[in-house]
Amino acid sequence: MDTQTERNIQVALERLIDGKTTFAIAHRLSTLQKADRLLVLDDGTFAEMGTHDELMQKRGVYFDLVNAQRATTRLRGRGPGGHHGGRRPGGHRRPGGPPRGPGGPGAPGGGPR
C-alpha cells in the first residue's frame, strides 16, 4: 500500500474510533504511535504498558520491537508504505520469470518443474 493510502486509512480510523475504547493489533508499529495506552505482550505474557513515548523512554520490549522494525525498514531501503522493488518478502527474482517462493522445484510457489 502506498504512503498516501495508508495515511488516508489512518485518518479515517482516527475519526471512527474517536471517543471509543479500541483494541488494535498492527504489523507496523508506527500505526499505534497515537494510542492513549499500549499494552505490550512478550511471548503471551504482559510485559509493559504506556504511551508510545513512555515505552520508548523505558527502553524495554516495545523499544526493542520499534528499533528492530526501523532497522529492517532501513535495510530494505524503503520507508513505510514503500514497495519491495519487484520482490516479495522471502521470494527471489529469477531472470525472465516471476518471483520464486521458498521450497524449490515442485513445491507450492517453488521454481520451475
Question: What percent of the chain stands above pLDDT 70?
Answer: 68
Question: pLDDT by residue (tens digit) across 26-35?
Answer: 888 888 888 8
Question: pLDDT by residue (tens digit) across 54-94?
Answer: 999 999 999 999 999 999 888 877 555 444 444 334 443 33
Whole-prediction pTM: 0.58
Match 520491537 to its residue by C-alpha cell. 65
Is the distance from CB of 53 to CB of 16 less than 8 angstroms?
Answer: no
If you ran DSSP here, which 8-state letter would residue 32 be given?
A: G
pLDDT at 6: 82
Beta partners for 13?
none
Match 495506552 to its residue by C-alpha cell. 37
Domain borders along the chain are 3-76
- Looking at this protein, which amino acid is placed at residue 14? E
